[in-house]
Amino acid sequence: MSESDINVTSVAAVVVMAAGAGTRMKSATPKVLHEVAGKSMISLAVDAADALAPQQLVVVVGHGRDLVSAHLADIAPHVVTAVQEEQRGTGDAVRAGLAALSQLSGEVVVTSGDVPLLTGQTLVELVQAHRRDANTVTVLTARVPDPTGYGRIIRAGDQVARIVEQSDGSAEELAVDEINAGIYVFDADALSSGIGALTTDNAQGEFYLTDVITLARNSGGRVGGWLLADYLQTEGVNDRIQLSERNAEANRRILRHWMTEGVTVLDPASTWVHAEVDLAVDVTLLPGTTLAGATSVAAGATIGPDTTLIDVEVGENATVMRSHVELAVIGAGATVGPFSYLRPGTELGTGGKVGAFVETKKAVIGAGTKVPHLTYCGDAVLGEGVNIGAGTIFANYDGVTKSTTVVGDNSFVGSDSVLVAPVEIAPGSYVAAGSTITTDVGPGELAVARGQQRNIKGWVERKRPGTKTDESARAALAEREAGDNGK
């Protein structure tokens, strides 16, 4: 959205209702902190509200208030929180929100913290419709396949005459499929006076925000309804089933967006991409791929199959297959996998390789360096063109301190070696296979650190008599003797 659009659309305040207990979630986590597309529902609600550039933004908290408030302080410090001490209806929630704000003049948008598909663009268009039609109140509405349980919109011409709840509607009224989405634009004065006039004179003994709409209309105000064609944006989350459905729909929309931008997704049904992921043209996502957090993938890279990247930067034309990577950088043209585990702090250089059953942690791996097989590489700095043999262990922890191993450019570490940190393997040096290196290796040196081989004759015959090994040894000896006698 351009700066000019924001200035035109800017509203006095947005009130986000997020105080409900969410008992049907059956969770110790407050409902609005459950995630859709990798972001909490309340953060998605705040993102949508921010599109209106509100002068004031308040989130009304209640259940789990400490957790929700702490989360908001972390992700959206510009947000004010207000506490609804008792959940006494939507009108009471908005009353609590208004009490936390300074004097208002203009429009106040009321929305909810549990409608994760609602976009900022929809709120912008809702406010624009409110202004265009000179409404006192504008209600966001939608036509849904099954309106059961929703308040029905009863129209009088181009205005909303009333909102009828499921329990109060006649058969004719309940046949209406246009529903109240629970998202509104109010003129500030009408909202303030209406909230002040609310009573609990109803069967539930609660303050209903919809009563403010009735009061506004009875006072001669114009109440409009803005029909949103994309009804899924109005769908809330009340239980884990609905949470799963919203996640699936959000993911479908995210994948559709990236495919239109030039990304190949071979199997959308098994591919999950979070909202903050960034993908370039000609990226290919293979089945079973999950891209989470602030992951970015550059042009031409191939991810998957069966791969998870969390907060990872992937360079151009890199390949990551059947691996788990977190908080790492993978350089252009590098290859990872299969079955690799790149932990936080890993930096794999251009054209580098981390191969099968390799685990890395805080490892800076230079351009063209290969760590191909069965290796643990932790707290290490590897130069360019290094080759690490299969089964090598970077022993970085002595039980108290973690130390660093440095391997210089174009060095070679033989298979099944142990590099005991802190130690430095200088550029252009070799470590013989099976060595345990505890002191530095100089440039051009070959380090050999292993016991001299001893072959003890007759050991199997004495220690393992009668075993299959003994039988094989005896047969081999007899064959050797027969060969010697034949010469």
Show which residues are catalytic: 373
Q: Which residues contact 27 (CB under 8 A, 6 or more apart)?
A: 34
Q: Which amino acid is at 423?
A: V
Q: Which of 433, 429, 431, 424 is nearest to 444 (CA)?
A: 429
Contacts of 346 (CB under 8 A, 6+ apart): 325, 327, 328, 329, 354, 360, 361, 362, 363, 364, 365
**Which two structure tokens, joined as six digits, stand for 88?**
């006494």
Between β-strands 393-395 and 370-373, what pairing exists: parallel, antiparallel or unpaired? unpaired
Q: Please report which helix (H) or strand (E) contains residue 407, including its range.
A: strand 405-407
The β-bridge relationship of strands 159-164 and 152-156 is antiparallel
Six-digit token pair at 167? 């329990």
3 state SS of 452: coil
Amino acid, res. 290: T
Rounded distance, CA 70 to CA 167, Å?
38
- Dump strand ranges (E) for 349-398: 353-356, 359-365, 370-373, 376-382, 387-388, 393-395
Q: Show contacts of 326-330: CB within 8 Å, 24+ apart.
A: 328/360
